[in-house]
Structure 1
């Protein structure tokens, strides 16, 4: 059974509620291309989702929104997040063998987020937490988010992070229209770098982090980070080498079929730390859902590595049967 750790789902009532509340066109729940694919909670879309899962050999998807509703108004934010979490829990309860979900948090409202995390795990049956890499322009490595990490650490939670489409808040990315094609991978890398700088994985060792898109350029930077990232112009007081921290994370396999990117990540992190993901349905604009996983079987890896990546790692991480 393949477990897809990176799959999106947008209930229609959530789309209607959010309307133009999202900060950027990148964040709209149904973008132009994705509207062609099974994405919403309509009966037709759910049937289409399961059909594609069957064709791809995917036994389960762990759901998250393509962009959570981080809103400055706390009441609106809580309403939107509960709408999502309730819809996801309902979907999972009707199809427990095929669907699980992460709990979304009403950030940046920390007390409300802690309450919703408790509800998600203890009442709704969520299997992990989903956070965006930035929240209203702030890195989720900032000090104000520490209570969230403390609670996840207490629970031994899985945390799946996702790019926000911010282009790392850089005009060099945004103004040149690389926010989606390149900016997302740079966000992934920035998250890992911020975690290293703030030593969050070292201080909260029970959290199991999943970073999307093979960590972006992180696999190529480990040696350089170890050599330059700990000197006096970098972070000389780290408790461990940056590569040690980076290798504690899990990385999903979304890479648009790039063998070079996959092999780089495999050599950097090891087969034990790669988990299957698809970015469903975004990637379907570029490749068939089943191809997102089938290409891994054609890479010529040792069979034991292929089996770990496709059929063991994600399942073991969440405690699913495999």
Structure 2
């Protein structure tokens, strides 16, 4: 029985690909190729890997138009397509809506349209918009509104603004983990994390380097000007977040994450189609092949997501519809 819930699964609407450019999309990922994606391609991979439901989102590079109207129009097109896919395949897909940030008024309007009108399960945020990281005061009105609504926000890393220090390497390899770490650290020491108590944030790829650097980041509390922003302590704030295991299911990455937060805050994710089906299958095998208890695996594969999205009707897929790769686990 397919039962996994994939919280990092990307759609590539043709309007988005045309607007951003295949080369720019390809430049961020290890394969250096922009995938040819359709919902049916996703469903076939999901069925072969025991994934009942995938939560769709846009990923990097996103779009950062100077024109608020252009950004808002493209966000609407992408969100409309995601909603249409969910309606076409009930239970198989959910989605995190895209916002035309850093344009605040247009983003607030799209939050309402997506959550109230389209049935979005949450909002997708990028780690930075034009170099302004989550935690920046310029983005605060949107995060505060999401918090007031008790929204789930999926946070995907963006490319570094101004060019990578190692430009011959794709952003996905080094910059994405560090981008997530920068965004979390800025949320902490801007004071926003302490204020956004009802905004449930899922960070990609095991939180970047957070499980490894958490203690080092917490040393910033030695500075009174920074400590005042984390009255409960930086570690306590970081431990409130949720983390997915896209590209992070192996023991060298997953075990530090399990030492950092409980399985109820860790979610299955594939990063498909930017990571191919071979990576999706390897994630399934790694999670099930390192001797974790059945309760831990169950929480990561579905339980944590079901708790975050209690009103989402997840798919129930029969064994005839899904070929789970048990023979390779």
* 1:230 aligned counterpart, secondary structure: helix
Q: Could you tell me how far 1:112 is from its partner in structure 2?
A: 0.6
Change in 2 beyond 3 A, CA 1:272/1:84: same
CA distance in 1, matches of 2:162, 2:20: 22
Moved over 6 A (4+): none
Change in 2 beyond 3 A, CA 1:305/1:101: same
CA distance in 2, matches of 1:192, 1:182: 16
| Greater relative contact order structure (CA < 8 Å, 6+ sep) | 2
The answer to whether 1:301 aligns with 2:292 is yes
Q: Could you tell me how far 1:170 is from its partner in structure 2?
A: 6.4
The answer to whether 1:52 aligns with 2:54 is no
The answer to whether 1:118 aligns with 2:109 is no
Q: 1:84-120 deviations in whole A, cap 9, x for unaligned?
A: 0111111111112101111111111100100000000
2:270 corresponds in structure 1 to 278
Q: Could you tell me how far 1:169 is from its partner in structure 2?
A: 4.9
TM-score (norm 2): 0.87
Change in 2 beyond 3 A, CA 1:289/1:21: closer
CA distance in 1, matches of 2:262, 2:43: 31
2:307 corresponds in structure 1 to 316
The partner residue of 2:69 within 68, 75, 81 is: 75
The answer to whether 1:189 aligns with 2:191 is no
1:140 corresponds in structure 2 to 134
88-97 or 255-264, which deviates more: 255-264
1:232 corresponds in structure 2 to 223
Change in 2 beyond 3 A, CA 1:149/1:288: closer
TM-score (norm 1): 0.88
Task: Tell me if structure 2 keeps the 8 A contact 1:26–1:165.
Answer: no
2:83 corresponds in structure 1 to 89
Change in 2 beyond 3 A, CA 1:234/1:218: farther
Number of aligned residue pairs: 309
2:326 corresponds in structure 1 to none
Task: Tell me if structure 2 keeps the 8 A contact 1:208–1:249.
Answer: yes
1:200 corresponds in structure 2 to 192
Change in 2 beyond 3 A, CA 1:305/1:8: same
CA distance in 1, matches of 2:216, 2:28: 33
